[in-house]
Amino acid sequence: MRANPNRRGVLKTTATLAAAAAGSTLGQHVRAAAAALSGTGKLAAIDAALRSTTAAGDLPGIVAMAANDGGVFYEGAFGSRRLGGGPDMTRDTVFSVASMVKPITSVAALRLVEQNKLSLETPVPDIDPAIGSPQVLSGFDPAGGPRLRPAKRPITLHHLLTHTAGFAYRLWDAEALHYFEAVEKLPAVRRKALPRTPLMFDPGERWQYGTNIDWVGRLVEAASGEPLDVHFRRNIFEPLGMKDTAFVVSKEQRTRIASVHRRRPDGSLLPDPVERENTREPAPRSFSGGGGIHSTAGDYLTFIRALLNGGSLGGARLLRPDTVALMGRNQIGAIDAGVMKTTAPALSNDVDFFPGISLKWGFGHMINMQPVPDGRRAGSLTWAGLCNTYYWIDPTTRVAAVFMTQVLPFADRRALRAYRAFERGIYAAVKAG
């Protein structure tokens, strides 16, 4: 495992910075970070836990990283990018992070709110009838056809950013799946007259994870006048130095990409077939604000460190501190969030990351309202990608962390067990410091 020498270098660098910055406010933060890193035995325990997970074949490979105000204080790479002879996992391994693009899209939209090009609370621009004149599914007629009615109120950006607009994913909503299957049975003429993605409820009335942020991406493009990939690159990725985050993987990045593995009924893992260069489909011309992006653990950690730091990092500012604070605040009131029931177990298990803990949603993140035992504090922010990539931001403890592997289904129990071991280890190290 190649991460230990890197971590020793981080420890040494952080200690040097702490000494150099003595007496300044920044120096106090850096010295606190250096003190937290003194729990090297605790960090070694993380290594042991994650190494044993990959050695046992529970996961093909893992890259995990954590940072605080002083910088990166843990990084580990274990296992291989592909079971059965693939190269070792490394810090620069490229992962499909899927829905972890959603916070990036949310940041892009909130930047435009700061510039008065979008509004949080007024009806969204009428870029498509699906959000300009939304229809709500009210049931099915005796023949099985869907019944629709106009929504009681317009959709706002606030609704979209908090997954309270009414849009759903078929993967986690049985009624949305029923609608899709019913529409597919209708004659083509009637099928074309129906919305592809109706609302499952009126805007603002409950929470349901869905295609909301896909629509936010469309709004970002309309308000900025730029394709989404260009807008992200110019305003987020390049300023932060995120060179390995993109919708389209380059030829060089493809040499570092991790294969997706599928969990079989007996618990073993089967790698997906290797994608050959000469059989790939042409690169897409449009991109989704809700999924489809690739990144590395280091790149994504850079992004969430900027949010931990109030919207800026290394001289690049993404958002004002007050806007970042809004992202981390409960924006759905008394509505509950975060629990999802699968309709396709091969792609996702049922999702309830924190049983017994109240979950809310801010602008781009899920929020745990009570502390997690031996882990993140109340008010921490998190979300994930379909292939079991995860992040969290803990504004109280001042920790940001990422955990990446490539396994389906989502919320894989063995992946979550390793993720929790990583989290417990990080907080044990911080506490020891």
Which one of the listed residues 74, 169, 179, 209 is annotated catalytic? 209
How many whole angstroms separate alpha carbon 82 and alpha carbon 62? 11
Which one of the listed residues 42, 80, 96, 102 is annotated catalytic? 102
Q: Which helix (H) or strand (E) holds 219?
A: helix 212-224
Pick from 211, 208, 385, 387: nearest CA to 289? 211
Assess contact for 159 and 212: CB atoms under 8 A: yes
Assess contact for 305 and 67: CB atoms under 8 A: yes
Q: Which residues pair with 80 in a beta bridge?
A: 88
Residue written as tokens 């599914």?
A: 137
Answer yes or no: 179 catalytic: no
SS3 132: helix
Strands (E) located in 161-319: 261-263, 269-271, 293-295, 312-313, 316-317
How many whole angstroms separate alpha carbon 208 and alpha carbon 201? 9
10 Å CB burial of residue 252 (0-12, 13-18, 19+) is exposed
Pick from 206, 213, 188, 207: nearest CA to 131? 213
Annotate 228-250 with b (16+ C-beta within 10 A) or e (fewer): bbebbbebbbebbebebbbbebe
How many whole angstroms separate alpha carbon 95 and alpha carbon 257? 6
How many whole angstroms separate alpha carbon 135 and alpha carbon 281? 34
Which one of the listed residues 80, 96, 99, 224 is annotated catalytic? 99
Pick from 239, 228, 289: nearest CA to 99? 289
Q: Cis (ω within 30 of 0) for the bond into 409?
A: yes
Answer yes or no: 209 catalytic: yes
Q: Which residues are catalytic?
A: 99, 102, 209
